[in-house]
Amino acid sequence: MDGTVPKFDRYSDPATLGLRWTRWLNAFEHFADGKGSILTDETSNATKQRRRALLLHHAGTDVQDIFSTLADTGGPTDYAQAVTALNAYFVPQVNIAFARQTFYQLKQKTGQTVQQFVTSLRQATKDCDFGADKDNQIRDAVLSRGNSEYVRRKLLEEGTGLTLSRTLEIAAQCERVELQMPAMHISPKTEVKETKVSNKLTIQPTGSSVWTTAQTAVQKHTRCPPVKMRLGLTK
195 within a domain of the structure (yes/no)? no
108 within a domain of the structure (yes/no)? yes
pLDDT of the residue at 63:
96
- Domain end point (choices 137, 158, 183): 183
Instruction: Give tens-digit pLDDT for 196-215.
Output: 544 544 445 444 444 444 45
Find the DSSP H helices in the chain.
17-34, 45-59, 61-67, 79-90, 96-105, 114-124, 134-145, 149-157, 164-184, 209-221, 227-231
- Same domain, residue pair 31 and 45: yes
189 within a domain of the structure (yes/no)? no
223 within a domain of the structure (yes/no)? no
For residue 120, give the CATH number of its domain. Answer: 1.10.1200
* Residues 59, 5: Cα–Cα separation, whole Å: 9
CA dihedral 228, 231, 233, 234 (to 10 degrees): 60
Range of the structural domain that residue 156 is part of = 96-183
Q: How confident is the model at residue 233 (pLDDT cuts 50, 70, 90)?
A: low
Q: Is 89 a residue whose pLDDT tops 60?
A: yes
Arithmetic mean of pLDDT, 112-127: 94
**What DSSP state is assigned to residue 15?**
G
Amino acid occupying residue 189: K
* Residues 113, 131: Cα–Cα separation, whole Å: 25
Q: How confident is the model at residue 226 (pLDDT cuts 50, 70, 90)?
A: low
- Same domain, residue pair 116 and 72: no
- Same domain, residue pair 47 and 70: yes
128 within a domain of the structure (yes/no)? yes
- Same domain, residue pair 66 and 139: no
Whether the Cβ atoms of residue 143 and residue 166 lie closer than 8 Å to each other = no
Q: How many domains does the chain have?
A: 2
pLDDT of the residue at 39:
75
Q: Is 221 a residue whose pLDDT tops 60?
A: no
- Same domain, residue pair 84 and 144: no
pLDDT of the residue at 74:
93
pLDDT of the residue at 188:
42
6 within a domain of the structure (yes/no)? no
- Domain end point (choices 56, 72, 90): 90
CA nearest neighbour of 164 among 204, 101, 209, 117: 117
- Domain end point (choices 32, 62, 90): 90
Q: How confident is the model at residue 16 (pLDDT cuts 50, 70, 90)?
A: confident
pLDDT of the residue at 101:
95
211 within a domain of the structure (yes/no)? no
